[in-house]
Chain A
Amino acid sequence: MPSASQPGNQLRERATALRRLARVLEDADAVTLHRRATMDTWIGPTPQHCHDDLVAARALLLNTSAEVRKAAIRLDQRAQQLDAASARAAPVS
């Protein structure tokens, strides 16, 4: 468990925020909108375009969420590296 004074803590806080953002993206109402735009609701070329757009939007949001999670992992790794470097530089008591 990193202590409050470790140099990587700031990066860890950013990673936590990014994970929170990823969760928000995955839970967004826009991700499930396409289910309401089926042929039970409306039929025709325009409705079909709408449905296709909403499916594409869902894919974009979920892919974006995955990218954000990867960014959070990278921040965690950098935080660990910073902590390790700091520990090596500290005088042995």
Chain B
Amino acid sequence: MGYEPTLLRCLFDAMRRADAGLDAIRSTDPDAASAIASVRSVQQLLNGRWIPVLDSLLRCRAMDGYTRTTEGFDDLIDSWLASKPGWSIWADPLATTVDQLSIEQARALGLALSRRDASEPLTNPEVAWLADTLAEISATPALALALLTTLSRSGWAEVCDRLGDQRIALVGERTITARLSEADRGHLDAIDSLFASLAAILANQLVLRPERSAITLTEQMHPYSAALLVSHLRLSAADLAAVSRDLIARYRQGGWADVQNAGPGTADILMQAMLATPGAPARFVLLTRDEPALMLDAAHSSQLAERLILIATDPANISVQEAGSVVPELIHFIDQSYTAGSFYGQYDSGIGAFMVDLIAPWLLQFTVLHQRDWNLDRPQGAQLLAVVIDRDGGLDRLMAHRDRVAAGMTRQVAARTDAARHVIDDLAALLGLLDTVARAVQISDAEDVRAAWDIVWLLTGAATSLLPGNALIGVAVGGASTALQRLATNTDFGSGAVGAVRHDSLFYLDLHAAFAVAAVICARFDQMVADREVPDDTAPPPLPDPASSHPGAQYSSDFSDWLDAVHLGTGEDILNGIKQTMVSVHEGERNAVELALGSG
């Protein structure tokens, strides 16, 4: 128990005056009998109980009974109270003897934390005791509420900042030396436990007082300690993204202890928390789109930041329009600003690969056909794509991410109500785009040839699965498609007969395009046969000729001859339309991109 002697003397005097005042109250009226009885009971409370207690304290009975409760670290409250000028600490005759915390003790702890001398460092044993005590308080809502009635924001912010600084040093040492002493490990665990418990207590306050946002709660704290606290607050995706943006912006102003230290810093902690909160990455990226450095140039781990952005910009988590406000900005930022002179002075050697990952699901939006999706001018899409592809291994990585490209296209096409009507356009535009960028970087070896073929085949398969009728999964279903598949399997795109002209990338791209067109034609034709729109014995569409020196032109000629020979009725118009669409969109895309890139 602690007290301030002067104020206690005032209380004692006031109590005696109050007792005297009550003693003077008298009445003989029978209707006042009950009132007089109440007055006497209050008098009894004062002069029978509390006046003697105060009297005994003020008469300094320390020598004959009261002793200081404990010495040492485990009574943080008393030790802090004792440090207050003019305060005295005595054993409390009414204190509980069991270990369980009381409401009064929780209140007292809050007051002690709020009023402690900021210049006094917390010792390891004190932190351990505080961690245990806060854990107990956080588990009992009544205790948590009692603590919050006396715990000031500046009080716990100061404690958190001090512990945050200690944690930065410990984590830095662990990162560099890969080991920590047992004592330091215990201290680190205690700090983390303390933050978790305090967050659990404060989370109640956010629920009880929703006008207090997480930003308000952390505005007096260092970004690092605030990030630790926030990571345990279990905020909603929107709140977590908002407070993360605020803290990372403050962190990037510089001057904080974790900026130059090894190990996860402010942004790393927040990004980890956002990755664990569904929806938070996308919200964060949208909130910071005008300042890409907050996403890319704040975390100590560039891989972590990039993972967050890739999840945020995945078509499953963001709309086409939202992606259009983020992806181009990021590419511009990386191309123009993300250099060795960035915040950390470090250059991320994997940034080229990241850019490819970033655009892969959105490749369709770089085509001329979809330039309005992102409000890009005619050459902008191709120019942005060139920024990505021109980096080392850009095309290889794009080819390697063909699943992501195909999934992105499929998701976008399937999301439209008129999916079937536009799937051919989309496929053709995408193939035209790939065709052109592939020409620009010169496919020169067998692996590249195979990779380029794989992506064309994969996209074509994905597109045909979305054709009218929706019954086709992949391209090799009916007779015509099976024949095409067999031809593709038997055609060695990396060596052998084709290998003889390996150096001629134009040939491969032409062949790829011819296969893509043929795949769609065959798939649609097989569907017509299955639906009995054309007779079973109708000759199948022609296949590309890998042995031809100009397979595209050859296929076009063969297709026209085939159409003239068969009688498909309205099916003739459909198949001819598909072929013409693919060729014209493909050519149109190629022309636009080549114009923008200055290649041909």
Contacts and interface: CB of A to CB of B under 8 A. Distances in A.
Interface of A: 14, 17-18, 21, 24-25, 28-30, 33, 36-37, 39-50, 53-54, 57, 60-61, 64-65, 67-68, 71, 74-75
B25 A24 contact: yes
B347 interface: no
A62 to B, nearest CB: 10
B10 A36 contact: yes
B29 interface: yes
A43 B88 CA distance: 10
Contact of B3 (A29, A33, A47): A47
Contacts of B108: 39, 43-44
Given A25-B25, A42-B4, 15 more contacts: A18-B27, A25-B39, A28-B22, A29-B17, A30-B18, A33-B18, A36-B10, A41-B4, A43-B3, A43-B77, A46-B53, A47-B104, A48-B103, A48-B107, A64-B34
Interface residues of B, number: 46
Contacts of A36: 7, 10-11, 14
18 contacts: A14-B31, A18-B29, A29-B14, A30-B19, A30-B21, A36-B7, A39-B107, A39-B108, A41-B4, A41-B10, A41-B11, A45-B94, A46-B95, A49-B94, A53-B49, A65-B35, A67-B35, A68-B35
Interface stretch (B40-48, B301-309, B583-591): B40-48
B32 A30 contact: no
B41 A33 contact: no
**Most B CB within 10 A of own CB, among A17, A47, A49, A74:** A47
Nearest to A52: B104
Contacts of B8: 41-42
**Most B CB within 10 A of own CB, among A24, A44, A61:** A44
Contacts of A44: 1-2, 92, 94-95, 104, 108
Interface in B95-148: 95-96, 102-105, 107-108, 111
A54 B50 CA distance: 10
Nearest to A63: B38
A39 B35 contact: no
B469 to A, nearest CB: 78
B380 interface: no
Contacts of A14: 29, 31
Contacts of B498: none
B212 to A, nearest CB: 23
Contacts of A60: 38, 41-42
Given A18-B29, A45-B95, A28 B21 contact: yes
A25 B21 CA distance: 10
Nearest to B50: A50
Contacts of B581: none
B296 interface: no
A2 B281 CA distance: 82
**Most A CB within 10 A of own CB, among B2, B21, B35:** B35
B578 interface: no
B240 interface: no
Contacts of A61: 38-39, 42
A71 B53 CA distance: 37
A58 B102 CA distance: 24
B1 A71 contact: no
Contacts of B15: 33
Given A53-B45, A53-B49, A43 B1 contact: yes
B47 to A, nearest CB: 11
Interface string B437-469: 000000000000000000000000000000000
A42 B104 CA distance: 12
A74 to B, nearest CB: 8
B85 interface: no
B93 interface: yes
Nearest to B112: A43
Contacts of A75: 31
B32 A21 contact: yes
B298 to A, nearest CB: 42
A33 to B, nearest CB: 5
B34 A53 contact: no
A28 B94 contact: no
A30 B17 CA distance: 8
A8 B462 CA distance: 103
A65 to B, nearest CB: 8
